[in-house]
Amino acid sequence: MSIAVITGAATGIGRVTAETLAAAGHTVYATMRDPGDRNAAAAAELRARARSHDRDLHVAELDVTSQASADSAVERIVGETGAIDVVVHNAGHLSIGYVEAFTDDDIAHLLDVNAIGAHRVNRAVLPHMRRRRSGTLVYVGSTILVTTPPFLGPYVASKAAFDALAVVTSYEASQFGIETSIVMPGAITQGTQHFPNASRATDENVAAQYAELDPLVERTHEAHERLFEPGTTADPQEVAEEIRRVLALPAGGRPFRSVVDAARAGADHVMAFSDLTREAFVRRLGFAETLELKR
């Protein structure tokens, strides 16, 4: 079993994935911001559940908006275990509102958390994985870069950037035995604090000029919940199970991309064609080796 580091593990998909992988026998480091303060309750509960179920599950501080924090967390974990085999890039934040009303700082902050955050963690962990010439990077992406719904503009842009960074990083990492897998959840409306904790655009003057659209914005959560057929749920556990399944496969045999979407939006078909097109182009460029895992 692997030593797995999960970002954004205080709630939602990250937390459920931490418990699922630990239950499957992995050594798991559930990382989060401020486990001694703002996330103290979540950290304490994770530790208590680990003790009661005798699981190798640990809590570590890691703020993806700080390179120093990412470096420190990786150094600590490698010092304690000797290795990091898997990183699950899960940390993220949702924003809702009118694109024009988001300031440049609003959008920069969301990109910082949702896209650059994963890059910081990669910069911390990839030197270690390159030395070992092995490792797996799992990115918890989103079908939203295909579906592109209204009133979530900066979030859509940040998840598209996250996906693009995952893809282009994979070319280089693959040549050092480091595998990439992008798991794309559809809309998740249950078991997370994504919608309740979503931020809003800060330019209230601009937002006021869109006031006639406020009723549409206010039912964004409800609109996503109505995507599901009666009796169908979009549960973070389904995403966690897919990550567990991917990691159970032998190295070199893991899917580059998989979709977990109870809303059945069709992103799996779109991304399959997109990846085939991209791979064909990379081969035409003469870089076919970057598409294969070098062992």
Distance CA(220)–CA(147), nearest Å, equals 14
- Reported as a single tens digit per residue, the pLDDT across 222-260 is 888 888 877 777 789 999 999 999 999 999 999 999 999
Distance CA(150)–CA(156), nearest Å, equals 9
**Residue 235: how many other CB atoms lie within 10 Å:** 18
- Give the three-class secondary structure for 60: strand
155 noted as active-site residue: yes
Q: Which amino acid is at 32?
A: M
**Residue 274: how many other CB atoms lie within 10 Å:** 15
Q: Which amino acid is at 87?
A: V
Is the model's pLDDT at 262 over the cut of 70?
yes
Distance CA(239)–CA(19), nearest Å, equals 12
Distance CA(24)–CA(21), nearest Å, equals 5
Length of the chain counted residue by residue: 295
- Reported as a single tens digit per residue, the pLDDT across 67-118 is 999 999 999 999 999 999 999 999 999 999 999 999 999 999 999 999 999 9
The residue from 98, 155, 171, 210 that is catalytic is 155
12 exposure class (CB count in 10 Å sphere: 0-12, 13-18, 19+): buried
User: pTM for this structure?
Assistant: 0.95
Bridge partners for 65 per DSSP = none
CATH topology of domain 3-291: Rossmann fold (3.40.50)
